[in-house]
Structure 1
Amino acid sequence: MTSAPEKTSLDAVGADVLRVAREQVLERGEGLAEAQLLEVLRLGDEHLTDLLALAHDVRMRWCGPEVEVEGIISLKTGGCPEDCHFCSQSGRFPTPVRSAWLDIPGLVKAARQTAETGATEFCIVAAVRGPDKRLLTQVREGVKAIRADGNDIQIACSLGMLTQEQVDDLVDMGVHRYNHNLETARSHFPNVVTTHTWEERWETLRMIREAGMEVCCGGIIGMGETVEQRAEFAAQLAELNPDECTMNFLIPQPGTPYEHYEIVEGKDALRTVAAFRLAMPRPLIRFSGGRELTFGDLGTKQGMLGGINAIIVGNYLTNLGRSADQDLEMLKDLKMPVKALSDSL
């Protein structure tokens, strides 16, 4: 049991952590370093409200009030040769997901429905190590068909690891943003994936950046990483300086090595959201998979007021999400304007 003097001392330490963060991140726009992020992640629950308020202030100052809304669609589902231990689309695990391809009319319809929600971003995803010729042809035809449908929504892709030639092809297609998650801290990655390396993912991100596409990169919280590795991961993402960071929370998938992992506790998840914002004052930080399970409705609102400024609406790749109407109503209640397509082009 903590004594009164000890509690007073801990309160003072926590207040000092927040004071330094306010001066460094809010006032100067400089993200916290790894050691500072660890201090944030170790703050007691009594500091959580103030931490979330600071992260929200940072978001408002350096990003503004708008929220970017995105829909995603799986062009090629399941049958992936990689062994990412969290993923139900890996062909190495006995999961219920089976390999399937979406046709071009289905892709056009999904893009149209996404645009009708008010979203400005449509991401085409494939469960692959990297795209082969067939997949890239399908993406090219899909992008053309979406444009022929009169849809001006911005198109992003997430197709695994790329070669330079493939990067150039995507630029030529008009893909403006590419998602490729580092997934977790470099030190923890070998525990999560063994069929490729963290460095291979980093190399794809480097080529994307140099080609002029926007970089979308984040990962999944709750895969057995330590609090120190969460701080490490946030600092590594900040070094990458992505245009967008996706924040996923583990959904234990049946048949995967992580099927019995526990859900991240809500307060720890909120602390992590705030820490990522204090590491990266300016990028989009997007609520992605697992937020419904980890937070519920109330916690999702808390996260939106704790540094988040982008969300995926509708369903995810192999999991159901909230309806777009529910999320748009939530943003309306929070008086958070949805970023307009005309402002993003």
Structure 2
Amino acid sequence: MTAAPHQDTALDRRDPEAAILTAAREQVLERGEGLSEKQVLEILRLDDDQLPGLLALAHEVRMRWCGPEVEVEGIVSVKTGGCPEDCHFCSQSGRFPTPVRSAWLDIPGLVKAAAETADTGATEFCIVAAVRGPDARLLSQVRDGINAIRESGNDIQIACSLGMLTQEQVDELVEMGVHRYNHNLETARSHFPNVVTTHSWEERWDTLRMVSEAGMEVCSGGIVGMGETDEQRAEFAVQLAELDPHEVPMNFLIPQPGTPYEKYEVIEGKDALRTVAAFRLALPRTMLRFAGGRELTLGDLGAEQGMLGGVNAIIVGNYLTNLGRPASQDLEMLSGLKMPIKALSETL
């Protein structure tokens, strides 16, 4: 869908905020060029009365450069809890007194979860583990799980999120048939030491570089609302653009009991929507996925606004340690918005 060119008006010249959107329209919608860090910051600082126009522009950009289809994904944890890292947002860290305890999912459970995900119409199934990086036992479990899923006749695409990798492990996952790897950068490089101290932002970046060079699709995003500034959100958006990921999951902090962030306030829905739209304008051709925390931050109406404000992918069902909306609700929402679900044949 191509929008009609937007003509500069006297109003735009009098109103700096309107001028920001006019410039973004010409650069991103018409030329397909993502915004710079300075420009993203300007978008993040737009007044609330500019939000409807911003969301409308983000939706036009999504439709122009990504199309109307929505990719639907389900996720499951094969190894939950007991992680040695200190990611301050995460209830699965073994360093914090959270209610989550270490557990493994068996192969029949993994096959069942994949089948249930496929039954929703999802084309993507992501196997997740709470670890610094995979050991031999975990990789063997993943291999056996993928083989069992295939032997069951389920041809859903398999993604993995297993922490930081070595080159040998990257090669092993490619050989298993994993086509997409998720490893979130989580936040801007400048803010990362405030969020995690047991490993570095650069270590995560190195894993993503190896994944990309091996030919797997790169999935990397983060969490909004961890005490970062607007400047750091803008920094994060352009750092992700530099990575050129296939997919960017947009999570919103759910303050978890027992973690250092348990008393953080949930960000306001309008700020969440403004951030999603800003990321769309920084990443016009990237799949932008609604992920954890959208139910708490946005609610039902906000989720629809996000889908009309730049988002073109969604996780359905539950998350790793948090309940999501029933998959049927999200599928009904997409149907009501007349957004087709991306077919499996289009992603193979």
Aligned to 1:76: 79
Among candidates 320, 323, 328, match of residue 317 of structure 1: 320
Post-superposition offset of 1:69: 0.1
The 1-side partners of 2:158 and 2:12 are apart by 51
Give the distance between the partners of 1:124 and 1:268, measured in 2 at CA. 30
Cα deviation, residue 320, structure 1: 0.1
Q: Is structure 2 residue 175 aligned with structure 1 residue 176?
A: no
1:20 aligned to 2:23?
A: yes
Equivalent position amino acid for 1:90 in 2? S
Identity of aligned residues (%): 80
Residues 1:256 and 2:269 are matched in the alignment: no
Q: Distance in 1 between matches of 2:294 and 2:271?
A: 13
Partner of 1:32: 35
Deviation for aligned residue 1:9: 9.6
The corresponding residue for 1:301 is 304
How far does residue 314 in structure 1 lie from its aligned partner after superposition? 0.1
User: Is the Cα contact below 8 Å between 2:74 and 2:315 reproduced in 1?
Assistant: yes
Deviations along 1:109-148, whole A, 9 cap, x unmatched? 0000000000000000000000000000000000000000
Task: Render the CA deviation track for 1:210-263: whole Å, top value 9, x for unaligned.
Answer: 000000000000000001100000010011010000000000000000000000
Partner of 1:3: none
Q: Is the 8 A contact 2:12 2:22 kept in 1?
A: no
Q: Does 1:86 align with 2:84?
A: no
Find the aligned partners of 1:170 and 1:152 in 2 and give their Cα distance. 17
Match of 2:127 in 1: 124
The equivalent residue for 1:113 is 116
Within 5 Å, which residues of 2 pair with 1:99-248?
99-248=102-251
Q: Partners in 1 of 2:330 and 2:13 — Cα distance? A: 37
The alignment yields a C-alpha RMSD, in angstroms, of: 1.0
Distance of 1:35 and 1:195 partners within structure 2: 31
SS of residue matched to 1:92: coil
User: Which position in structure 2 is the counterpart of 1:4?
Assistant: none
* Paired residue type of 1:248: N
* Residue pair 2:12, 2:19 contacting (<8 A) in 1 also: no
Tell me, which stretches of 5 or more residues in structure 1 are unaligned?
1-7
Q: Distance in 2 between matches of 1:213 and 1:225?
A: 30
Task: Name the SS for the 1:16 alignment partner.
Answer: helix
Report how far residue 177 of structure 1 moved.
Answer: 0.1
Q: What SS does the corresponding residue of 1:178 show, helix, strand or coil?
A: strand
Once the 2 structures are TM-superposed, how far is the Cα of residue 344 of structure 1 from its aligned partner? 1.0
Report Cα offsets for 1:269-320 as digits up to 9, x if no partner. Answer: 1100000000000111000000000000000000000000000000000000
Q: 2:270 and 2:326 mapped to 1: Cα distance? A: 24
**C-alpha spacing 1:255/1:10, structure 2 compared with 1 (3 Å):** farther
Tell me the CA shift for residue 10 of structure 1.
10
Change (3 A) 1:152 1:23: same
Residue identity opposite 1:117 in structure 2: T
Runs of 4+ in 1 over 4 A off after TM superposition: 8-11
Look up the SS of the partner of 1:31 in the other structure: coil
**Pair 1:289 & 2:296 matched:** no
Q: Who is 1:277 aligned against? A: 280
Structure 2 Cα separation of the partners of residues 317 and 214 of structure 1: 22
Structure-1 residue corresponding to 2:70? 67
Which secondary structure state, in structure 1, belongs to the residue aligned with residue 15 of structure 2?
A: helix
Unaligned runs of 5+ in 2: 1-10
Counterpart-to-counterpart distance in 2, 1:314 and 1:129: 25
Residue matched to 2:341: 338
Q: Work out the CA distance in 2 between the residues paired with 1:294 and 1:327.
A: 16
How far the C-alpha of 1:323 sits from its partner, in A, is: 0.5
Question: What is the alpha-carbon distance in structure 1 between the residues aligned to residue 257 and residue 331 of structure 2?
Answer: 30
Q: Secondary structure at the match of 1:285?
A: strand
Deviations 1:146-205 (A, max 9, x none): 000000000000000000000000000000000000000000000000000000000000
CA separation in 2, counterparts of 1:10 and 1:130?
52
